[in-house]
Chains A and B, each alone.
Chain A
Amino acid sequence: MDTFAALSQGLTIALQPINLLFAFVGVMLGTAVGVLPGIGPALTVALLLPITFKLDPAGSLIMFAGIYYGGMYGGSTASILLNTPGESSSIVTALEGNKMARAGRGGPALATAAIGSFVAGTIATIGLALVAPTVVDIAISFGPEDYFALMVLAFTTVSAAFGSSVTRGLTSLFLGLALGLIGIDLQSGQARLSFGIPDLLDGVEVTTLAVALFAIGETLSVAAAGARADEIIEPVKGSVFMTREDWKRSWKPWIRGTFLGFPIGAMPAGGAEIPTFLSYALEKRLCRKPDEFGNGAIEGVAGPEAANNAAAAGVLVPLLTLGLPTSATAAIMLAGFQQYGLNPGPLLFVTNPDLVWGLIASLFIANGMLLILNLPLVGLWVRLLAIPRPWLYGGILVFATLGTLGANPSLVELGMLLIFGLLGYVLRRYDYPIAPVVVGLILGPLSEQQLRRALAISVGDPLALFQSPIALTLYALSALALFGPLLFFLLTGRKAPVGADED
């Protein structure tokens, strides 16, 4: 079928004024709800789905696309400005983004996130339109042994987020791994580290841990610093928008992030978090000013944000081509599609081409709308930081607890927020990095499950782990990440120029 004809017809429908309005409203709502810490895109889409029921299929698909991308984007705004990641895939954004905001560079950080999301979203949506069937075939060929190799790669590159001390980085990581053990083990059905508390059976929610460590831990340690911390954050130092140098430093990370995010997002067990970790590690390696990492390097926002958004489009690949919902958000979207008799599956492109292309066109429109809406708002968003500290932090705690309560109205969840908030304070006080705790919580259970699946399928033969070419390639990459700099030193006798010129 003529892809471009179908797409342009979809675009004509999506560009009608009334549909543009729906896109606008969707992006607005998605961003507004997604900004709340703890409320990720899944809940945002679930909450706002009933609103779209009232519209005709075209209008509602467009609004839906807007809510989806808006929800993804809203999370990064909160991460950058308030250090309160709204969802697990914007945790990495908080690392550099919030440092930038504190240095008066919140404007460029938000801008590179918005433009990077746009670039990544556009490229990934084109990918969705053109190569979805090919990508999905590759994605499906990933077995548990390959996923395990991917996790190994993620683990080896995570050290990029460790900060200065390996012992401290590993300690944080192992805390996260230990927290990841809590709950019912998927393979055996046994409860681990739950001590008979029913609320622990499902384990620790990633967003709860992230909100607690970042938002509450941060609030506590700023409060404890008292007068010592009383420098006032200047919302804007220099340009509100990106300078020429910012552009120069951003565009390559956007592209690299996109090419990490889209394929991994398309994998049934890929997710949006791993590409953000990989992108962060990659940018740190390639950055020409590596000492800026940890103090607000724009590459550390541009890359992961692009990866995150490209992964969001990637998730739609298995959803539309196979009918596989591979994330909570995708599962809710599936329910939304069914409202219009759209039954995602292998035959969808054949049976409902107009709706599919309408949706893809809507994604383009939503993506553009997100940029148009958010760039002018950057200046306003940044002003949030000018709110006097007592009210700002009061507000942060109100919204952090609101988000947690909204996702799961349980006092135990609030109790965990408090305990992990204290943990976040202690970690900060004694110079332990925060991000590896969350990374451990995400990667630990994933890698364990994949390894055990691989070994169960091979009936306990460990050689099966090294028999797939995909896995071997990924292990080679891990080895390169670990020993690459050392090898360089041995060969040339001088230290690897981290961030070598590659123009």
Chain B
Amino acid sequence: MTQILRGALVAAALAAFAPMGAAHAEIKDLKIIAPAAPGGGWDQTARSIQQALQSDKLVSNVQVVNVPGAGGTIGLAQFVNANKGDPNTLIVGGYVMVGAIITNKSPVNLSQVTPIARLTGEYEAIAVPANSPIKSLADLVAALKADPQKVSWAGGSAGGTDHITAGLFAKAVGVDPTKVNYIAFSGGGESLASLLGGKVTAGIASLSEYDSQAKAGKLRVLGVSSAQRLPEAPDVPTFKEAGIDVEIQNWRMIAAAPGITPEQKKEISETIEKMVKSKAWTELLAQKGWANTYLSGSAFDAQLAKDISATQTILKDIGLAQ
């Protein structure tokens, strides 16, 4: 046991040099709950916020806590129940949570937290292997209309953003969403591999997952789910350009606990706004290839409400919610 302790002491000593120790912070201690396991999008978002807040000395000590499980609903439930009125604990969340709350029949929902701001987002893209006979969204739509079962889609877990996008896409072109032959994969890597290996007809995931493969000429990205073409892929048309009325953003947000005072909410919002404008945050976003889709206040609340009701409808259409 002494070995473990000795090793760990070195770790402690080293870590002491690391992030902490700041001078003029407004908030002293902050805990951010990442309702996912280490490595995922929410975890990376939480750790990026941690890094940005600390390096700009906006908060002197930020701790990230992973509470993984069930599309973030376990972390959310724990947050809502244990942190009522606590201004020093925040939670990271996102669009995936909206769907998970519905499909998992979660006892808590997003109306029970205090949303602060949408921070970043990614758009969905549809891609096919480079040697696929499908050259455009129109080809894909034609194949889908001919026999939806023959078009297999690789994406993330059932009921997630990828599945929802596939369902919306089918519905928009007049194909029964329940007929979509959607193949769920547990990680981005596996679904991408099945697409590269030509095992499925098409893949659906956030654009960043396909981007480097497309640049290397291994995949062809047919379309993206944004309102306008995206700077990282200016040649790729949007769904809307192809006449398919689907627009979806897989956004990530930060929210505060229920029951905090308006003053506390204001202070947190201001800190986050400062962070979003900081150089550290801009650099982090660039590094990860995330778009800055900062939206706060009532505009964000309205967007959130819109997303929730749209998601509810499509999940019913796919057959995943009652």
Find out whether the CB atom of B8 lies under 8 angstroms from the CB atom of A328: no
The stretch from B67-75, B254-262, B297-305 touching chain A is B67-75
| B74 CB to nearest A CB, Å | 5
Interchain CA distance A215-B252 in the complex, whole Å: 39
Chain A CB within 10 A, most for which of B1, B40, B43: B1
Given A184-B104, A339-B287, A387-B1, A347 and B212 touching (CB < 8 A)? yes
The answer to whether B11 and A29 touch across the interface, beta carbons within 8 angstroms, is yes
Smallest Cβ distance from A459 to chain B, in angstroms? 5
Question: For residue B103, which residue of chain A has the nearest CB?
Answer: A189
The reply to whether B74 and A198 form a contact with Cβ atoms under 8 Å apart is: yes
Q: Is A297 an interface residue (CB 8 A)?
A: no
A341 to B43 alpha-carbon distance, docked (Å) = 19
Given A199-B74, A202-B69, decide whether A25 and B14 contact each other with a Cβ distance below 8 A. Answer: yes
Answer whether A381 and B157 are a contact pair too, CB < 8 Å, given A50-B19, A322-B196, A325-B187: no
Q: A33-B11, A189-B320 are in contact. Are A268 and B190 (CB under 8 A)?
A: yes
CB–CB A459/B181 < 8 A: yes
B189: chain A residues at CB < 8 Å are: 268, 318, 324-326, 330-331
Give 3 closest A-B pairs by Cβ, nearest first.
A32-B7, A345-B212, A346-B216
Beyond A408-B68, A410-B67, is A48–B11 a contact (Cβ under 8 Å)?
yes
Instruction: From the candidates A25, A141, A453, name the one contacting B10 in the complex (CB within 8 A).
Output: A25
A457, B10: Cβ atoms under 8 Å? Answer: no
Q: Given the complex of chains A and B, what is the CA–CA distance between A42 and B39 in angstroms?
A: 8
Counting CB contacts under 8 A, is A332 at the interface?
yes
Chain A residue contacts of B216, Cβ below 8 A: 345-347
How far is B3's CA from A384's CA once the two chains are assembled, in angstroms? Answer: 9
In the complex, given contacts A140-B193, A408-B69, what are 16 additional A-B residue pairs having Cβ atoms less than 8 angstroms apart?
A: A28-B10, A32-B8, A51-B15, A144-B183, A184-B157, A186-B185, A189-B159, A202-B68, A202-B70, A335-B44, A335-B47, A346-B212, A347-B215, A399-B4, A410-B74, A457-B152
CA distance A53 to B159 in the complex (A): 36
Answer whether residue A54 sits at the interface, using C-beta atoms and an 8 A cutoff: yes
Task: Note all chain A residues with C-beta closer than 8 A to B18.
Answer: 50-51, 53-54
Q: Which residues of B contact A62 (CB under 8 A)?
A: none
Q: List 21 A-B contacts (CB under 8 A).
A: A28-B10, A29-B10, A29-B14, A35-B7, A139-B193, A184-B104, A186-B186, A198-B106, A201-B73, A202-B68, A268-B189, A268-B193, A326-B190, A331-B39, A335-B47, A339-B287, A377-B3, A384-B3, A409-B65, A457-B181, A459-B149
Q: Is A188 an interface residue (CB 8 A)?
A: yes
Considering only residues 181-228 of chain A, those with a C-beta below 8 Å from chain B are: 184-189, 191, 198-199, 201-202
When each residue 318-346 of chain A gets 1 if its CB lies under 8 Å from chain B and 0 otherwise, what string results? 10001111101111100100110101011
For residue B218, which residue of chain A has the nearest CB? Answer: A346
Q: Mark B65-86, 1 if CB is under 8 A from A, else 0.
A: 1111110011001100000000
Output the least CB separation between B293 and chain A (Å): 19
* Tally of contact residues, A, Cβ under 8 A: 69
* A142 B197 Cβ-Cβ under 8 A: yes
Proximity string of chain B (203-230) to chain A, C-beta cutoff 8 Å, 1 when within and 0 when not: 0000000001101101000000000000
Contact A184 B190 (CB under 8 A): no
Q: Quote the shortest CB–CB distance from A351 to chain B (angstroms).
A: 10
Binding site for A on B (CB under 8 A): 1, 3-4, 6-8, 10-11, 14-15, 17-19, 37-40, 43-44, 47, 51, 65-70, 73-74, 77-78, 103-104, 106-107, 149-150, 152, 157-159, 163, 181, 183-190, 192-194, 196-197, 199-200, 212-213, 215-216, 218, 287-289, 320
Point out the residue from B7, B19, B215 that lies within 8 Å of A31, measured CB to CB.
B7
Tell me which of B15, B38, B199 contacts A328 (CB under 8 A). B38
Give the contacting residue for A456; candidates B4, B10, B19, B181; CB below 8 A. B181
Bound-state CA distance A189–B166 (Å) is 15
With a cutoff of 8 Å between Cβ atoms, the chain A residues found around residue B44 in the complex are 335
Chain B positions within 8 Å of A330 at CB level: 189
Contact B104 A381 (CB under 8 A): no
Cα(A186)–Cα(B163), bound, Å: 11
CB nearest to B193 among chain A residues: A268
Query: Within 8 Å of chain B (Cβ to Cβ): is A36?
Result: yes
